[in-house]
C-alpha cells in the first residue's frame, strides 16, 4: 500500500525527512547497503556484509540524526531522538519484495532487527 506521511506528525517523529512525491527507488539488479556508523549499537555484531536489496524509499537524514547504514547514496537506517525517546527509520521492506530471500536469510538479519528494536527502546 501507499502512504503519504510527508508533512505529518509521523514524519516529525522520524529521524528522516520524507519526500512529498513518489520516493520509491527500484533496483532490480540489487544494491548493497553499507555500514556508515560502524560503532552504532544498531550494527553491533554484524559480521557479514549485508546482501543486496531490490529497492528502498528515498529520504534525507535530518541534521540532528545519525546515518547508520546507507544504500546507494541514500539512508537505509537512520537513528535519532524525538522528545525523550529514540526514533529509527528503515527505508526498505522487512520481508520479500525489496528485501529478497538472500537478505531475509542473511545471518545478520535477526541481529540487525534485534539491535534496532533494542536501541529504539532505550537499551
pLDDT of 47 reads: 81
What is the DSSP-derived secondary structure letter of residue 41? G
The pTM of the full predicted model, rounded to 2 decimals, is 0.94
pLDDT of 118 reads: 97
The pLDDT averaged over each successive group of 10 residues in the chain (123 residues) is 77 92 92 96 92 96 97 95 96 91 94 97 90
Q: How far is CA 1 from CA 73, 93, 94, 113, 116, in A?
A: 25, 12, 14, 22, 24
Amino acid at each position: 500500500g501507499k502512504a503519504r506521511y510527508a508533512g505529518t506528525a509521523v514524519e516529525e517523529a522520524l529521524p528522516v525527512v520524507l519526500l512529498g512525491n513518489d520516493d520509491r527507488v527500484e533496483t532490480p539488479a540489487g544494491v548493497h547497503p553499507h555500514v556508515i556508523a560502524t560503532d552504532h549499537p544498531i550494527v553491533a555484531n554484524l559480521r557479514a556484509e549485508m546482501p543486496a536489496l531490490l529497492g528502498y524509499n528515498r529520504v534525507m537524514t535530518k541534521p540532528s540524526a545519525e546515518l547508520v547504514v546507507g544504500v546507494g547514496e541514500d539512508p537505509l537506517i537512520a537513528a535519532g531522538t524525538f522528545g525523550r525517546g529514540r526514533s529509527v527509520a528503515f527505508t526498505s521492506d522487512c520481508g520479500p519484495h525489496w528485501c529478497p530471500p538472500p537478505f531475509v536469510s542473511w545471518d545478520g538479519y535477526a541481529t540487525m532487527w534485534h539491535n534496532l528494536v533494542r536501541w529504539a527502546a532505550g537499551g
